Structure 1
Amino acid sequence: MNILYIAYSCNPFAGSEDKIGWCVPCESSKTNKVYVITKEEQREPVEKYLQSHPLENIKFYYVDIPNFYKKIFKGFMYSGRLNVWNRRVLPLAKKICADKKIDVIHQITPIEFRAIGDYGKIANIKFVCGPLGGGESLPNGLKDYAKGHEIIEVVRSGINRWYRFKLRITGKLNRCDYIMFANKETQEFLVEGAELNCPYELVFDNGLRPDELVSWTEKEKVNEELQCK
């Protein structure tokens, strides 16, 4: 199968979203022909890794955005930068789909639901999205931790509701063929009151390379030995 991954965050040397955006496509390339579109800033770490760890069945493309948008969209406005990037990626994604006979497009990162691209508009190709997060709200029991930053949480909540409304009126979620949610809160936030026409489920969104698993196991053994002494 030919799969195109949209992975804004994709770095073999980093963790969190970067790790997910890297490990999932690489693992998929073992049994599929994989293409990955990521941001220009990931070129250096990706190419550095590939120099010493050549991979088969995977090709990377890099897309940048003007510095103007990078300066404007910072902090809680970062979603704006992601959406500008998605718009610049769309023409390239269409070309790759046509040239490489792509079967599935999977937008894997960014994980936040506020930055879903319009890849579902590309005809005759399945669009998978997720794992999606970002729809969580601050629990009442933890609100003391937000003291001094209450306005940020209020703004974030308002932005989330606006993007949820935007997703519904544009029908963007219903152009997905399958949606994965990173947590129950985001699933409930987006699904309740909506009429989704596609299947969805919660998924475990962590990914590790085999060498990292081995390294972790070795560390655990060392810790056990130290505790026994």
Structure 2
Amino acid sequence: MRVLMFAYSLSPYKGSESGAGWGLLEAVRQFADVTVLHATPDADELARYQQENPESGITFVHVPCARFPNPLHRSKVVRFFAYARWIPRARSVAQELIASERFDIVHHATWSVYWLPSAARGLELPVVWGPVGGAVVTPKALRSTLSRKGLMAEWFDEVSVRLAALDPRTRAMWKQATVALFQNPSTQRRVGRDSSLDALLNHAEFTITPPATAATPANEVVWVGAMESRKAPLLAVRAMRHTGPDARLVIVGDGPQLEAVRAEIAEHGLEDKVRTTGRVSRETVQTLMAGSKATIYTGLREEGGLALAEGLLSGTPVIVIGNGGPVVLCNAATDPDRIAVIAPNDVETVEQDLAAAIDQAMAASSTLRTPMLNIEDAIARLRTLFVRAIDSTGIGSMPDTPSPTPEET
């Protein structure tokens, strides 16, 4: 099988969107030869990878982003303007490649959001689109946990996403994709496709983690993530008010809410129960997770959850709020007995439920640490979906006309 992939952002040595793109590329190359069009400015990273993996079956084609020397700019607005400029350039290069070489299928890997257009549109080959996300919102019962800035960001993101999704090119991609892969049910409902070929498949199921290191067992629960309002680190700290005296929590990460977390710890006299580390290396995170009693994830609107995937792969018991992409990841886990999914009820109930799960983890005597995600199984499912796309008659030929989402009808 020969695959032409669009992966605007990918890196074998980074996380977030770039890491997700790389995980998908690694998955697809297990069953196909891949030519990947990308805008990654770190050419040295890809050259290093090719030197280390000369028989990978991957051909990298760098498509520069006009007037944007750093297409992965820290500003969201700049990033998306750069991506919009990149699409026609990437599509033009793809058309030249298709005219000169044989490809069986096109794959849009990143950006992995439903509300942006894709260069894969209208190439007259079967198209696998995704996995895409972008429609998860904070449960209403938990919005009071967001800071004022967090609430404004939530509102702004939702309005921006709805407006961006009106682009006829984006709507055309929704219709033309032979197979659409969705990171979570919220996005699947928002797009409103009705195809038996589509599937829920979270990109975090293909997460690649550094080799596990030996870890000294520690009687603590580990929270890992960016210290942002939507990640709700304060929810984890406040839950510690309701735990038993032996419960211990370590907050790992950095961000705008770090000082608020430290203030909350001091306000409630939790210095003996909760500690923070600030920013640490990925290897240190892996070691902390491997030695902990459990890992805890309180993100309120997660599309995927790379940190959660790493926790599941570490084999450590997991405590997670059940909203968005984490539900899909937990449903794919091989041992649900080591996962506590907390229903997104009102704040007080969630805090009590988190505390109960933390106490249960602290009291557990089991040392079982086998990984709870089967990447080989996820790759096999992905391959099956690619084969179905190639074998189907839906080859991306529908007209470029917008179709309403269920919320708009």
Q: TM-score, normalised by structure 1?
A: 0.80
The Cα offsets for residues 7-56 of structure 1, whole Å up to 9 and x where unpaired, read as: 11210011232223223323433432210111141422111222233233
Distance of 2:188 and 2:196 partners within structure 1: 13
What's the offset of the Cα at 1:166?
2.6
Alignment of 1:1-229 (within 5 A): 1-67=1-67, 74-76=75-77, 78-123=79-124, 125-144=125-144, 145-167=146-168, 170-191=171-192, 196=194, 199-206=197-204, 207-209=206-208, 212=209, 215-216=211-212, 218-219=213-214, 223=217
The letter for the 1-side match of 2:133 is G
Distance of 2:3 and 2:70 partners within structure 1: 29
* SS of equivalent residue, structure 1 residue 113: coil
The letter for the 1-side match of 2:9 is S
What's the offset of the Cα at 1:179?
0.5
Distance of 1:196 and 1:78 partners within structure 2: 31
The Cα offsets for residues 105-146 of structure 1, whole Å up to 9 and x where unpaired, read as: 1011111222231423012x1111111111122222332314
Show the counterpart of 2:286.
none
Query: Computing the radius of gyration over CA atoms, which structure comes out larger, 1 or 2?
Result: 2
- Once the two structures are overlaid, the 10-residue window that deviates more, 179-188 or 19-28, is 19-28
Q: Is the 8 A contact 2:23 2:207 kept in 1?
A: yes
The Cα offsets for residues 162-201 of structure 1, whole Å up to 9 and x where unpaired, read as: 233335885331111110011121112221xxx5567322
Q: Is the 8 A contact 2:9 2:40 kept in 1?
A: no
Q: Is the 8 A contact 1:10 1:42 kept in 2?
A: no
C-alpha change, 1:40 and 1:122, in structure 2 (3 Å) is same
Distance of 1:98 and 1:30 partners within structure 2: 25
Distance of 2:45 and 2:128 partners within structure 1: 26
* SS of equivalent residue, structure 1 residue 136: coil
How many aligned positions are there? 219
Distance of 1:181 and 1:91 partners within structure 2: 27
In the TM superposition, structure 1's runs of 4+ consecutive aligned residues that sit over 6 Å from their partners are 69-73, 224-228
Distance of 1:114 and 1:185 partners within structure 2: 13
Distance of 1:70 and 1:173 partners within structure 2: 28
The letter for the 1-side match of 2:24 is V
* SS of equivalent residue, structure 2 residue 90: helix
Show the counterpart of 2:309.
none
- Once the two structures are overlaid, the 10-residue window that deviates more, 6-15 or 55-64, is 55-64
The letter for the 2-side match of 1:130 is G
* SS of equivalent residue, structure 2 residue 61: strand
What's the offset of the Cα at 1:208?
3.7
The Cα offsets for residues 76-117 of structure 1, whole Å up to 9 and x where unpaired, read as: 564332222122210011111222211111011111222231
What's the offset of the Cα at 1:156?
1.6
- Once the two structures are overlaid, the 10-residue window that deviates more, 199-208 or 84-93, is 199-208
Q: TM-score, normalised by structure 2?
A: 0.48
Q: Is the 8 A contact 1:174 1:197 kept in 2?
A: no
* SS of equivalent residue, structure 1 residue 61: strand
Distance of 1:174 and 1:42 partners within structure 2: 34
Gapped runs of 5+ residues in structure 1? none
Distance of 2:194 and 2:214 partners within structure 1: 45
C-alpha change, 1:33 and 1:187, in structure 2 (3 Å) is same
Gapped runs of 5+ residues in structure 2? 219-289, 293-364, 366-409
C-alpha change, 1:6 and 1:143, in structure 2 (3 Å) is same
* SS of equivalent residue, structure 2 residue 118: coil
Superposed CA RMSD: 3.1
